[in-house]
Structure 1
Amino acid sequence: MVKTKDKIIRKSVELISLYGYVNFSIGNVAKEVQVSKGVVNYHFPQKELLLEAIITQYYEKAAIYMGEHMILEEDAKRMLESYIESNLRFVSENKAETLAITEIVLNGRNENGELIFVDENNSILNPLIEIFQYGQDVDRSFRKFPPEIMARAVRNVIDSFSSTIAKEEMTDIDSVIMEIKTIFDKATERSD
C-alpha cells in the first residue's frame, strides 16, 4: 500500500511536470490526492520541504540508477561515456520527474526572489572532475585541460538535452547519446 506521503510526492511531480511550477499549489495536490490541505501540511509543513523531498528522491534514484549502469573498471574514456549514457537513459526513463525537477530548480525562489535550490558547492561536478583527473593523471587517455571547465561543459550539455528528451522534443535517445559521447571524446582526446 502506498503511503500518503509518497502519494503527495508523486502527485506533486505529476502536477509540476504537467502545469509547471508557477501553477503548483498545496491545495491542488490535496485535491488530487483526495485529502485535506491539513494532511499535506502535516507531512510537509512548508511547500519548500515538499519540493526538497521531490528533489532528494529524484537525485537518490538517479544515483542508484547510475551506480548500476556506469562502467568504472575500464579507462577514463569509457567511464565518461558511461556517465553521459547513464544520465541520459535515466532521464529518458523518468521524463515527468525530470520535467518537475527542472521546473523546481529553475523557478523555486524564496521571498527575496533568490533561487532556493542552488548547488552552491557544485557537488554535481565532482564525479566528472574525478573522471577527468584520472584520465589526465593516471591512465593518460585525456589531454590536459582544466577539469572543472570540462565538467561544467558536460553537465550543461546533459542538462540541456535532459529537458529536450523529457519534453519529447527528441525521441531518438540512442543518436543523442552517441553524438554527445562523440563530442566529448573529441574534446578530451590526446593529440600525441
Structure 2
Amino acid sequence: MGRTFTESGRRAQIVQAAIEVVAEVGYAKASFSRIAKQAGLSSTGMISYHFAGKDDLMHEVVAEVTRVTAGFMMPRIAAAEGAGARLRAFIESNVELLAVWPGHLKALIEVLPNLGGDDPATVGYKASLQQVMEGQEQAVRAAQEAGEFREFDPRLMLVAMRGAIDAVVMRWVGDPSFDVTEAGRELADIFDRATRAEP
C-alpha cells in the first residue's frame, strides 16, 4: 500500500531536517532528538514511525541529495549545444552545487563514509556514479569521432576531471568562503582546452 500525501510530506520534512542537522553537526552528533527538534516535532516517535533506524533515514538522505543534484545539473547539461558546451555545463553545475545546495553536499560527505563501503546506499551511490562515468565515456568517444574533441584516453580524462572537481569540493569544505562559481569556470576552461579538437 502506498503512502498518503501526509505521510510522504512528513517523511520529506524529516529527511530535510536530517540533512540540515548532519550538515551542521556531523553524522555522529545527528541524533533523532536533534533531528526531531529541527523538524519541529514534539518527539522522536514520528521519526521512528517513518524510518526503521538511523541507517534507514540516512539512506533516504543519500537518495534525496542524489535527486536534488540530478535535478539541478541535468537540465543545464541537456540545454547545452555541442560536446564542449555540455562538458562545461557538467563541470560548472557540479561545482555550483556547493553554492546552491551547500547543506546537501556537506550531508552527503558526512553520511557516505559513516554508512560503510558495503552499505546498500553507498553501493547504490557508487553504482550511479559508475553509470554516469560510463555514459560520459561513451559521449566523449562520440565527440572524438565527430571531431569535436581531440584524441585522448576518455576514461583517463574523466578520472582527472572527477578528481579536480572533488579537490574543489574538499577546498570548499575547509574554506566555505571559497568562490566555487569562479572555480567552476576556471576548471571548465582548463578541461575545455584539454579536450578541444585542434582547428
TM bucket, shorter chain = 0.7 to 0.9
Please list, as runs of the form range in 1=range in 2, the aligned pairs for 1:83-98 lying within 5 A after superposition. Answer: 83-98=90-105
SS in 2 for 1:131: helix
**Which residue type is aligned with residue 105 of structure 1?**
L
- 1:128 paired with 2:128, answer no
* 2-structure distance, mates of 1:177, 1:74: 19
SS at match of 1:70: helix
CA positional deviation for 1:50: 1.1
Where in structure 1 are there 5+ consecutive unaligned residues? none
Aligned equivalents of 1:40 and 1:61: distance in 2?
A: 22
Q: What SS class does the counterpart of residue 24 from structure 1 fall into?
A: coil
Q: Which amino acid in the other structure matches residue 50 of structure 2? A: H
Q: Deviations over 1:9-34 (max 9, x none)?
A: 11111111111112222233234433
Using the alignment, how far apart are the partners of 1:85 and 1:39 within structure 2? 39
Q: Which has the higher helix share?
A: 2
Cα shift readout 1:68-93 (whole Å, capped 9, x = no counterpart): 22255522111101111121223310
**Matched letter for residue 124 of structure 1:** V
Letter of the structure 1 residue corresponding to residue 163 of structure 2: N
* Pair 164,124 (structure 1): closer, same or farther in 2 beyond 3 Å: farther
Give the 4+ runs in structure 1 shifted more than 6 A. Answer: none
Alignment partner of 1:11 out of 17, 29, 40:
17
Q: 5 Å matches for 1:14-93? A: 14-33=20-39, 34-72=41-79, 74-93=81-100
Q: How far off is 1:168 after superposition?
A: 4.8
1:3 aligns to what SS in structure 2?
helix
Amino acid at match of 2:82: D
- Report the RMSD for the aligned CA atoms in angstroms: 2.5
CA shift digits 1:33-87 (9 cap, x unpaired): 3343332121111322211211111111221222222255522111101111121
> What is the letter of the counterpart of residue 145 of structure 2?
D
CA 65–136 in structure 1, closer or farther in 2 if over 3 Å, else same: same
Report matched runs for 1:77-156 at 5 Å: 77-109=84-116, 114=117, 116=119, 117-118=122-123, 119-120=126-127, 122-138=130-146, 140-156=147-163
Q: Which amino acid aligns with 2:89?
A: S
Identity among equivalent positions (%) equals: 24
Quote the offset at 1:149 in angstroms: 2.1
The residue identity in structure 1 corresponding to 2:156 is I
**Cα contact 1:80–1:131 (8 A) shared by 2:** no
Contact 2:33 2:44 in 1 (8 A): yes
Classify 1:136/1:69 alpha carbon distance in 2 versus 1 (closer, same or farther; 3 Å).
Answer: same
TM-score normalized with structure 2 length: 0.80
